[in-house]
Structure formats: C-alpha cells, structure tokens
Structure 1
Amino acid sequence: MALYVHKYGGTSVGTVERIRHVADKIVQARRRGDDLVVVVSAMSGETDRLLGLAKQMQERPNPRELDVLLSTGEQVTIALLCMALEARDCPAVSYTGAQARILTDAAHTKARILDIDTAKIRRDLDRGRVVVVAGFQGVSEEGDITTLGRGGSDTTAVALAAALDADECRIYTDVDGVYTTDPRVEPKARRLDRITFEEMLEMASLGSKVLQIRAVEFAGKYNVPLRVLSTFDDGPGTLITYEEEDMEQALISGIAFNRDEAKLTVEGVPDRPGIAAAILGPVADANIEVDMIVQNVAEDDTTDFTFTVHRNDYPKALEILEGVREELNARKVTGDDCIVKVSLVGVGMRSHAGIASKMFRALAQEGINIRMISTSEIKISVVLDEKYLELAVRTLHDAFELDKAPA
C-alpha cells in the first residue's frame, strides 16, 4: 500500500465548497487503497485577517502571541476538512502542529523544524484513518506554539513525507504544474513533466512562486519526490526529482523572472582592498540582502561598484550609501528601482557551450539592453529595464524553443 502526503494551499480550501471538493479527492484516493496524510493551510485571506487584528492591538505584535494567533487559521481548516471526510464515511483525525509532534526551534514567526515524532500518526494510519495536519506550525522544546513563516505549509508537508518515508509528496495548488515560464506572460509556456530539485530551487529563488524555497531544499536534502498538481483539474502535474542518467534533459528547462529588483551604484570609489566590505558592510548591518554584484575598474584607479537589492529595501539602502559616501571617498551614489531580473535555468547548460551568447544575441536583436549579468553552473541571469520584461521572456522562450518538448 502506497503512502502519500497531500498538501492543499489556501486557495484550495478557501471556501466550504472547496473544502468539500478536497474531501471528495481524498475519498477517491482512499478508494484506490492509498494511505494519506493531508497537510492544509489556512483558508485564503485568513492569515492576513488575523495579522490585521494583531496590528490593531500592537504596532509590532509580540512574536510569541502572534504565533498563537496565526496558528488558529490552520486549526479551522483541519477541523472542517475532518468533518467533511466523516460526512463521507471516511475516518479522519485532525492534528495541530503540536499534536503531530512537529518539534521546532524557538524562532517565533520563522521557526525551523528540528524533528517529527511520527508514532501517533503511524498508529492512526494503521487504524485506517486519514491524518489531517495543520501546516505552517509546530511546537518548541518549551512547549510554545511556533510558526514556520509564509508558505510554511509546503515545508510541513515535505518534512512529514521525509519523516514517514512517504512514496511521494503531492502539492495541490491552483496551477496544474511547473511551467517553462509564467503563462500569463508567455501564452506558449509548456507544462514540464519533470524538473530536477536543482532547477526548481533556482526557479523558486528567482521569482517562480509555485513552491516555497525551503520546501524544495528540504525535499532535495531528504530525497522526497515532489509533485505539483492542480486541486481543480485532473492531470499528471510536474514531478520534481533528482537528475537521472537516462532522463531526457532539455538544454533549458525554464525562464524565471523577478520584478522586485532595484539597483544601486557607488561611483568613483578608490580601487583598494576592503572597499567592497566598506560598501556592503553597512547594508548588511541593516539586514538588507544583496543579490548580484558587479565591479568596474577605471584607468584612474577608481571603481564603480554596483549591486541589486529587493525593491522594498531600495530606499533604505540608498539612504545608507548616501550616509557613508564621504567616508568611502566616492564621487556619487546612483540608483534605479525600475529594473527586473530574467534568468535561464537548466541542468543541460552544464554540457553545452554557447547558451549565454545565444541568449545575448536574441535580446540584442530585439533592442533590449543588458544592465548586469550573473551566471552559475545551471543559470544565467540578466538585469534589464522593467519595460522590457515581457518582451525579453517571450523572445527567450522562442529562441530556445521552450514550447516544444525535448526530442
């Protein structure tokens, strides 16, 4: 008998009717003979509603109490889903994160899972029950309720699948799989039958919102086969797994993009050891994450130092650099918060030369200027003016013929 972990997100359980629909899918799976552990999120909009209530009480809510409050959203869903299953003569039992013995560290609102005691869950599975677990939450060693951060239900599902040695972890959502790029930008985008953990991790980090990064990391670490499927439409979805030798591997698997980018440049700083640390140190001290970095050295022994940050951090980063400009002996500080990052992702890049030149040539033919470039073993990222985003994505999708399945 196969054991599957199903995860249903907020849109999948957003109304009573949708919870009933999920219950029907679970009953169908049980009739096929599958053992099931089901992880659910709060109903769509509920976490935001609870956050709003908290902020009416405190501008910066106490993290411990915030976790107590936010964890109630998933408790509503697990109880309603179990009621729907019982109404269909399908034995079910609900667990909060604490009842499921999901042990985490004590970092409230962004806790990490340390261990899961699966004994109770296994006993219920042996009794023929569907086990319904609240995602996004756990319990610290001190017995405090903790939450895992936004999107944490994906991580809960993958962690349970790893702990239970499940045959597959199935993430049900409002899309029917992972696509070569966002179909809203490129209508010819194609659903991928499979993609590697490595590629999915890059796609997630570069702006693809299908899966939470931590969940993909966890699945890759513990070799948990992940499948992304639609709650509302039947289909095979996309399997996320390790690269196999006999797997027909496309050159490029997908195009990811991120609109939330901003660029800062410190111009005319002395070209000397330690200047990068002097520039980025104050930025890091403000808890601002830096992404791409480019340094250009001029003939007069000065350098222009450029880096990107999340667009929300742009005003603060600009203020910091202006504050240390004289200390750096820099000519000026400039910035641009109307840029985007577009990336090609594919493990096939490892064994093929010429990907970058083909990418740059395709963009140049459309008059798209590249502002920055960054590469890794399976990724090439470029920074462009925001107005070129959709044109760039469609151009690259055509250039690499991503609408066609690998031969």
Structure 2
Amino acid sequence: MSLIVQKFGGTSVGSIERIEQVAEKVEKFRMDGHSVVVVVSAMSGETNRLIDLAKQIQERPVPRELDVLVSTGEQVTTALLSMALDKRGVKAKSYNGSQVRILTDDAHTKARIREIDDARLHADLDQGYVVVVAGFQGVDENGNITTLGRGGSDTTAVALAAALKADECQIYTDVDGVYTTDPRVVDGARRLDRITFEEMLEMASMGSKVLQIRAVEFAGKYSVPLRVLHSFQEGPGTLITLEDETDMETPTIAGIAFNRDEAKLTVRGVPDMPGVAYRILGPVGEANIEVDVIVQNVGGDGTTDFSFTVGRNDLPRAREVLETTAAEVGAGEVTADSKIAKVSVVGVGMRSHAGVASQMFRALADNGINIQMITTSEIKISVIIEEKYLELAVRALHSSFELDREPRDENAA
C-alpha cells in the first residue's frame, strides 16, 4: 500500500480522549495496510504554558534554553500517542527531533530544516512500526535542541514526507479543508476539492490560517502532495498539489483571501529623484519591518507621495523610522492609517482569463467600496480598502465570481 505522513495539531491531541481518537484513526490506516508516520504538536495550550513559566524567570528568556523547555510539549504527546497505539496492539515508537536527527541551523526559536536522517525511520517502518515524531523541533550541528517557530509541526510533517518520499502528507486540523473564503464571513463559502501550491501560498500569505506558509513552500519545492482534513470528521478534505494542464480549465478564481493586520504609512512631498525609494524603505527594512504594498505618485512640482503598508503591530516602529528618514530626505509630513485591510482574489486560472481585475473593481464599485492601493501578481490581485468595508467586500467578490457554485465539468456532455 502507500506511505502516509499524518500531522495532528494541538487541538487534535488536546486531551487524553482526543489522543485515543487519533490512535483509533491511525489504527484504521494500519489495518488498511498503509505505512504511517505521525507528527504531533504539543497538547493545546501547553506551549503557551511553558512560555509563561519561562517568562516568570526571565522577561526575555535565553533562546537556547527556551527551545529546550518548549520542545518538551511535543515529547509528551508522542509518548502518550505511542502508548495509546500500543494498547490497541499497534506497534509504535516515539522519537523527538534530535533522535530522528532533524538537522537544522542554529537560529533558536525560528530554526530552518537543513536535512533529515531517515535511516532509522525506514528501518522501523520496514518492521511494521508506526513512527510517532515530535513536531516543531530539531537539533543543530552542535547537538543543541532547536524549534521551528509557531506552526512548525506542519513543516516537520512535510519535511519528513519529502525525505521519506511519502505518497501523501495529511494535515489534520479543526477544519475539513480549504475553503473559497472564511465560512465565518460568507455563509456560501465552499470547500475546495483541490488547490495548487501557488494558490495555497497566496491564500496563506493573505491571511488564511489553515496551513503554515513555510510548510506549503516546502511541499511545493519537493512536490509533496498535501491534504487538509478534519481530525474527527470523515471526508475527502482538500488536496494541495502541483498545477497541471487541466488546471487551466478550472474556474478563474480559487478563493478570496483577506488580512485585517494591515496599516498604511504615507510620506508626502518626497523629492522626486533617483534612489529616493531606497532611502525611504532601506531603513524600514533594516529595522526588520516587512513592507507589503507600495505606491508612488509623482506630482507636477517635482515631488512625490510615497505610500506603503506594514503589519499593524509594526506601525509604531515603522512610523518612528519613517519620520526620521523623511526629515533626512527633505520630505513633508508622515501620516498613518491603521484602519485598513487587504482583500485578494487568487487563482491560477487568471493566467488564461482576461478581465479579472475589471470584474473585481466593478464588484467593489457597485458596493461603494473605494480602493486605496492595488498590487498584482500572475495569480493574485490585492486591494487595500477601509477596514469597515472588509466583510462587505469579501461577500461581494465571492458572489461576483460565483464561488458558491460547484465548478462546471468542462468534459461533461
């Protein structure tokens, strides 16, 4: 049969009862003849509890020691799940990241995976074991425990699937797949049977929290088929895979993504000269602040207005940096707006369909929604609007592109 890597998040293993349910699910896959590797997160709330303990000792815990501490959460879950499987007569072995030797760089609390030694895993799988691996963690070349950052268990699962050449990597979570948009905003949001890596990356970067961006990037790089499934409900979920020729016949738009965590900065009266964009954005980047949408408007008096967006939490620091820079380049006032949001239409079908932008802009105009900024890529169009219109915009676009309807079968008679 096939080799499957399964990942269960914190809510999926949040209690002994739920760990027992996960064990039953894994047992069924073994009974069907599949080889299974399971990656688990810490029990829901455990990582936050450990971080709180650390902060009772140090306001800013030493990163190396914090990694040692928080990595224990996943180890608890691996042992408990292995016990639950053994109780059911399913042979299982648990491993932490250093035992598997998930080799990472030495960037504590946000390490990146370099390579995985899969020899021990293959040996156990050949002997009929279910291998249970602690997600979110690894070890650097000096033997120090490292962690991969929030949501890192998704990346662990995908990396293991790539190393083992698994047939599929299944991410079990509290939703039954990827939707055309957030069902809490649009009642008619529809679960997608399939979406491409590119589309999922765009959806994730625009605010969809179903999968960690790094995990999707990793899966796309190594062509690992990903499937998002509900932990305790049956269903096919959503398959995330490579684009193929038939994708060009799929609906133009896969989904509507949005992000409330946006703020806009504008510096007025910037001298219109070569290099001024770098002089403005360079210090912002050096402050480790990520810039998103950028718009520059050239006036008739030799000056320009320069606007860009940042994460809302970065606004105070970004404004401080920008005000210093504006004074240095001889620009005018700096203004800020934290009541904005970003809405995006995403779909690989945009490559072969014209008129997506005009349809998007018409739908927003018909609902009296003003567009402040626009940015595009090959498979995405994003606009910045007032935050108070966000949900109206999402519903209007979802309706305009008829995302509540099942896609037509182009091959049907």
Q: TM-score range by the shorter chain?
A: over 0.9
Q: Any gaps of 5 or more consecutive residues in structure 2?
A: 409-413
Secondary structure of the equivalent of 1:312? Answer: helix
1:208, CA displacement in angstroms?
A: 0.5
Partner of residue 298, structure 1? 299
Partner of residue 75, structure 2? 75
1:89, CA displacement in angstroms?
A: 1.1
Partner of residue 323, structure 1? 324
Q: Distance in 2 between matches of 1:325 and 1:354?
A: 39
Q: Distance in 2 between matches of 1:302 and 1:164?
A: 57
Partner of residue 380, structure 1? 381
Q: Distance in 2 between matches of 1:326 and 1:87?
A: 69
Q: Distance in 2 between matches of 1:157 and 1:97?
A: 12
Q: Distance in 2 between matches of 1:96 and 1:288?
A: 34
1:324, CA displacement in angstroms?
A: 2.7
Secondary structure of the equivalent of 2:316? Answer: helix
Q: Distance in 2 between matches of 1:83 and 1:193?
A: 34
Q: Distance in 2 between matches of 1:349 and 1:265?
A: 31
Secondary structure of the equivalent of 1:98? Answer: helix
2:173 pairs with 1:173: yes
Superposed, 1:118-129 pairs within 5 Å as: 118-129=118-129
Partner of residue 340, structure 1? 341
Partner of residue 209, structure 1? 209
Partner of residue 62, structure 2? 62
1:331, CA displacement in angstroms?
A: 1.5
Letter in 1 for 2:76: V
Partner of residue 360, structure 1? 361
Letter in 2 for 1:378: I
Superposed, 1:83-162 pairs within 5 Å as: 83-162=83-162
Superposed, 1:235-314 pairs within 5 Å as: 235-247=235-247, 248-314=249-315
Q: Distance in 2 between matches of 1:97 and 1:187?
A: 41
Q: Any gaps of 5 or more consecutive residues in structure 1?
A: none
CA RMSD of aligned residues (A): 0.8
Superposed, 1:177-192 pairs within 5 Å as: 177-192=177-192
Q: Distance in 1 between matches of 2:250 and 2:142?
A: 48
1:248-307 Cα offsets, whole Å, 9 max, x none, are: 411000011000000000001110011111111111111101000000001101000000
Secondary structure of the equivalent of 1:201? Answer: helix
Letter in 2 for 1:337: S
Q: Distance in 2 between matches of 1:243 and 1:113?
A: 26
Letter in 2 for 1:311: R
1:179-201 Cα offsets, whole Å, 9 max, x none, are: 00000000100000000001001
Letter in 2 for 1:322: E
Letter in 1 for 2:360: M
Large movers: runs of 4+ above 3 Å: none
Q: Distance in 2 between matches of 1:188 and 1:328?
A: 50
Q: Distance in 1 between matches of 2:380 and 2:109?
A: 32
1:325, CA displacement in angstroms?
A: 2.4
1:363, CA displacement in angstroms?
A: 0.4
Q: Distance in 2 between matches of 1:143 and 1:323?
A: 43
Secondary structure of the equivalent of 1:83? Answer: helix
Cα distance, 1:330–1:156 mapped onto 2, change above 3 Å: same
Q: Distance in 1 between matches of 2:105 and 2:328?
A: 40
Q: Distance in 1 between matches of 2:348 and 2:155?
A: 24
Secondary structure of the equivalent of 1:99? Answer: helix
Q: Distance in 2 between matches of 1:274 and 1:365?
A: 39
Q: Distance in 1 between matches of 2:101 and 2:321?
A: 44
1:10, CA displacement in angstroms?
A: 0.6
Q: Distance in 1 between matches of 2:9 and 2:127?
A: 27
Q: Distance in 2 between matches of 1:82 and 1:202?
A: 36
1:328-371 Cα offsets, whole Å, 9 max, x none, are: 21121001001000000000000111100110010001000111
Q: Distance in 2 between matches of 1:324 and 1:40?
A: 46
TM-score normalized with structure 2 length: 0.98
Q: Distance in 1 between matches of 2:315 and 2:70?
A: 29
Letter in 2 for 1:174: D
2:157 pairs with 1:193: no
Letter in 2 for 1:194: R
Letter in 1 for 2:221: K
Superposed, 1:5-20 pairs within 5 Å as: 5-20=5-20
TM-score normalized with structure 1 length: 0.99
1:244, CA displacement in angstroms?
A: 1.5
Q: Which moved more, 1:323-332 or 1:81-90?
A: 323-332
1:319, CA displacement in angstroms?
A: 1.4
1:221, CA displacement in angstroms?
A: 0.6
Letter in 2 for 1:16: I
Q: Distance in 1 between matches of 2:2 and 2:321?
A: 55
1:127, CA displacement in angstroms?
A: 1.1
1:178, CA displacement in angstroms?
A: 0.3
1:62-115 Cα offsets, whole Å, 9 max, x none, are: 111010001000001001101111111111000000111111111111111111
Q: How many residues align?
A: 407
Letter in 2 for 1:351: S
Q: Which moved more, 1:47-56 or 1:299-308?
A: 47-56
Partner of residue 411, structure 2? none
Secondary structure of the equivalent of 1:36? Answer: strand
Secondary structure of the equivalent of 2:97? Answer: coil
Letter in 2 for 1:274: G
1:323, CA displacement in angstroms?
A: 2.2
Q: Distance in 2 between matches of 1:321 and 1:162?
A: 43
Q: Distance in 2 between matches of 1:286 and 1:324?
A: 12
Q: Distance in 1 between matches of 2:32 and 2:226?
A: 20
